[in-house]
Amino acid sequence: MKKDSLICFRASKKLHETLTKIAKEERRSLSAMIEIALLNFLKEKNVLKSIDSERRKYPRKTISVPAFINHYESGKAKLNAASLMDISLEGIKISVPSDAKIDVQTDPHSSKFQVIFSLPNDNRPISLDCEPRSVSDDDDSILIGASIIDVDFESYKKLQSYLM
């Protein structure tokens, strides 16, 4: 769903604090938390038929390949094993084991990282620079949804031909 409209409204301090607390727990922005609450309300009222459920410009494709996350912390590179779960031309979803020593937050200014992987049937590595957009805990892993912010031309061509 394209976000091309700005909504401003007043709320009680208690509502604001509660939404902020839940957003922090779920590692989302306050805006995303409010959007989820509103969408859930509209689904409950069965008025969502006219709203497109796909928010992404490019749909993601499910994939399951091993990957490495190169995360820079205090000027030092830290390499962690991961699994790429889905991918599009604008973003990825990756799974990192819970016991990995990685501190990824949804603050794009402090948590940029690099993902290195190979596509199925192609052994040449692809390297993507990413910014996290959502981080959540799963049973035994951390799920990271991230935007692709930089990719070299050859990697982009391989990715594009795989996704199209």
pLDDT tens column, 9-32: 898 999 999 988 887 877 777 887
Residue 142's alpha-carbon distances to 24, 38, 93, 137, in angstroms, are 16, 26, 10, 5
Do 73 and 113 reside in the same domain of the chain? Answer: yes
Q: What is the mean pLDDT of residues 118-143?
A: 85
Tokens of 22: 């839940």
Within this chain, do residues 75 and 151 fall inside the same structural domain, yes or no? yes
Same domain? For 73 and 152 the reply is yes
Distances (CA, A) of 94 to 12, 20, 47, 52: 37, 25, 33, 25
Q: Give the pLDDT confidence score for residue 15 in this predicted structure.
A: 92
7 and 80 share a domain? no
Question: Do 51 and 65 sit in the same domain of this protein?
Answer: no
Asked if 48 and 84 sit in the same domain, the reply is: no
- State the total domains in the chain: 2
Domain residues for the domain of 125 are 61-163
| 124 and 51 belong to one structural domain | no
Contact 39, 1 (CB under 8 A): no
CATH label of the domain that carries residue 149: 2.40.10.220
- Residue 31, CB half-sphere, CA atoms under 13 Å: how many? 7
Residue 12 pLDDT:
93
Answer yes or no: pTM beyond 0.95. Answer: no
The 10s digit of each residue's pLDDT in 51-65 is 555 555 777 788 889
Same domain, 49 and 75: no
Query: Which one is predicted more confidently, 78 or 9?
Result: 9
Same-domain check for residues 50 and 98: no
- Of 55, 79, 95, which one is at a domain's C-terminal end? 55
The amino acid occupying position 112 is K
The pLDDT confidence band at residue 116, using thresholds 50, 70 and 90, is very high
